[in-house]
Structure 1
């Protein structure tokens, strides 16, 4: 009896459970863009370390309102006033400068007038009076968690880590990914294709999908549909943490990924998932190495890479959230009943509404290039009217908000 295809959630869980654990290394903070923080990062200092002025103006005592005051000095960013603000005194202060001892408020310069060393109040009092002062620790305090483990490191996280006193961050080492394109019909990009041939576009597409993550990519192929050639390609990728193939994962006479994997000592974990496109998905292991066999049709390869390859890479890299998340969007046109498999329909989302592409063939690339979203239609789903909300995966950033 043939084993039925796995449900999507079960297949994803089984794949992610196989993810190899990569060693943690300390990497210079400027080299961590796109990595995921391997451990919680505590602040090594307080920011700001002392009360700072948020505006240009004058620091003074609120008890001395409404003035006048005698200006006794200046506090500039990087050059604090060394004295104490006493009764009836004010200190000229610039944005980012330390508020002198004794002062508890800042009058902005637009609300003041000066006659030599005498300062007058001419405007409106701030509400509250300390409004223009950034208190010590406003941003963060020493020893608090700056960034939680599993956070993807972007420009803002780099700046925060540096402000928190860090020059290096704990991240997983870069994952080694081998991408194998296979098929007798494939020719390298740019080479003229005969009527019986196709340009090998899946491999470069998969490499591009993975490139935003902390991976080192080894591209192999196109590999012909010969058992020895495929087995040789798997051997040449022995150092990879993850191998992903495109094409040859089904059960036809020329689908040789499974026998090639058996020839190099890999064991099949599961095969076939109840989704459309992408049913003939294959997952195998060779030691700690995970092999992911994707279908050869381009839309199938893209959808399964979105749902399986990218989450696997994120898990290996230490992401707190690996799986893409759906958002609700309103259908522009009616959506018919679902079939026996969960479907992922190429679509365009405008920020509120979603319109399905009229061409949904898994061999077509043009609707995939037009799409910025995938509409999810559950197996055996009832027909839905225009204006109904449906779950949608946004393709940007791999579906991770």
Structure 2
């Protein structure tokens, strides 16, 4: 068995960001920029007023002075002339500051009488003026490559005059559940069978991080049926299987896919839940074989599939972020496998984050996983800890899944 960290590194080292494609700006939200977004103009393009008021020379802006209003410059309609001594031009927020003016008299600090305006508070040079290029200049990289585009980024790209953006293609992920006992939700359940949750949970996880899932029909415990999957995943960026990768007589995934040319990188990880995990390559398509147990499959997806999809999507691929918490209940000493305890999160009276593991950690208890806020990380051979001890946790609410 290999460690969690080694397994993740071996997965990531063979994956690469997917090629770029061009999408309309309206479709760019949550996509990953494949190239920097370079500003195609300067913003603002000229000195503009930050407030409603009057443009004037600061030298004429003493309190009590009266100036002659020689025109107006609504936003989008710059004043054609220049402001001279004793003169002012009516402005509005976003109006271009006329030539000759270097100060803004606020509307609320002015008294207007026909074509005359009285200054009720001294005007300072440069105040309330947004300088040309204050936000960005033509040629600036306003959004870096490798960033998942937020609504704010989309707005910034629009302001930089980009109707189209270059983004990485979404990862296409084929999902295959295996087992004679498996029925999809709503189907007749065979004697001794169970309803499959893995395919739908994994498809939701793939969508949550920007991928495109393709759920394949359930493959029965038949070597030829599982091997035939190799013919249906051409063009996919990853094949994720669940079940059939352990050591039983009906655990057929490894040998079945090997018969179609899969090369196996590793199998079995020193972790709980999720020991029987495999990674290989099927004619250029990476294969991640997850345990059939739904809790194990989801924990392994958090630790391995999410970083893998990040790498394919063009994002920095890293382990899920770990934060500190204190235990809300004692935990026993750990064995040779890294453990991932499902836990709830609360905040105590001192403002400390408290992670309380569920008293029963059975990996078949999917409801507990759905109710969990975090995974408490327990290293191999970690000693027992009492309530109040500090531990590392993966906050599930931080992962977007």
**Hey, what does 2:383 align to over in structure 1?**
382
**Hey, what does 2:84 align to over in structure 1?**
86
- State the distance in 2 between where 1:332 and 1:106 align: 59
Contact kept in structure 1, 2:16 and 2:312, CA below 8 Å: yes
Cα deviation for residue 119 of structure 1 reads 1.8
Contact kept in structure 1, 2:181 and 2:190, CA below 8 Å: no
Contact kept in structure 2, 1:39 and 1:149, CA below 8 Å: yes
**Hey, what does 2:94 align to over in structure 1?**
96
1:112 aligned to which of 110, 113, 116: 110
Per-residue CA distance 1:210-245 (angstroms, 9 max, x = gap): 003343321112221111111122322233120001
Gaps in structure 1 of 5+ consecutive residues: none
**Hey, what does 2:367 align to over in structure 1?**
366
- SS state of the match for residue 196, structure 1? coil
**Hey, what does 1:349 align to over in structure 2?**
345
- State the distance in 1 between where 2:206 and 2:181 align: 24
TM-score scaled by structure 1?
0.91
- Pick closer, same or farther for the CA change 1:291–1:348 going to 2, 3 Å: same
Contact kept in structure 2, 1:53 and 1:99, CA below 8 Å: yes
- State the distance in 1 between where 2:24 and 2:77 align: 30
Per-residue CA distance 1:252-308 (angstroms, 9 max, x = gap): 111111011112110101111222111111001023210000011111111111111
User: Are 1:65 and 2:66 an aligned pair?
Assistant: no
- SS state of the match for residue 320, structure 2? coil
- SS state of the match for residue 211, structure 1? helix
2:163 aligned to which of 162, 167, 190: 167
- SS state of the match for residue 316, structure 1? helix
Deviates more, 1:92-101 or 1:311-320: 92-101
Cα deviation for residue 155 of structure 1 reads 1.4
User: Residues 139-154 of structure 1: matches in 2 within 5 Å?
Assistant: 139-154=135-150
2:51 aligned to which of 44, 55, 63: 55
User: Are 1:75 and 2:73 an aligned pair?
Assistant: yes
- State the distance in 2 between where 1:59 and 1:391 align: 58
Cα deviation for residue 192 of structure 1 reads 4.5
**Hey, what does 2:350 align to over in structure 1?**
none
2:262 aligned to which of 266, 286, 289: 266
- State the distance in 2 between where 1:376 and 1:335 align: 11
Contact kept in structure 1, 2:175 and 2:214, CA below 8 Å: yes
- SS state of the match for residue 216, structure 2? strand
RMSD in angstroms over aligned alpha carbons?
2.2
**Hey, what does 2:234 align to over in structure 1?**
238
- State the distance in 2 between where 1:75 and 1:334 align: 71
- Pick closer, same or farther for the CA change 1:131–1:371 going to 2, 3 Å: farther
- SS state of the match for residue 207, structure 1? helix
Contact kept in structure 1, 2:377 and 2:392, CA below 8 Å: yes
Contact kept in structure 1, 2:206 and 2:212, CA below 8 Å: no
Deviates more, 1:82-91 or 1:271-280: 82-91
- State the distance in 2 between where 1:100 and 1:397 align: 49
- State the distance in 1 between where 2:34 and 2:260 align: 33
Gaps in structure 2 of 5+ consecutive residues: 348-352
Contact kept in structure 2, 1:324 and 1:399, CA below 8 Å: no
**Hey, what does 2:309 align to over in structure 1?**
313
Contact kept in structure 1, 2:57 and 2:103, CA below 8 Å: yes
Cα deviation for residue 357 of structure 1 reads 2.9
Contact kept in structure 2, 1:35 and 1:213, CA below 8 Å: no
- State the distance in 1 between where 2:104 and 2:384 align: 63
- State the distance in 1 between where 2:83 and 2:390 align: 62
Deviates more, 1:344-353 or 1:158-167: 344-353
- SS state of the match for residue 311, structure 1? helix
- State the distance in 1 between where 2:105 and 2:272 align: 65
- State the distance in 2 between where 1:197 and 1:29 align: 47
- SS state of the match for residue 308, structure 1? helix
Cα deviation for residue 21 of structure 1 reads 4.7
User: Are 1:226 and 2:227 an aligned pair?
Assistant: no
Contact kept in structure 1, 2:170 and 2:210, CA below 8 Å: yes
TM-score scaled by structure 2?
0.91
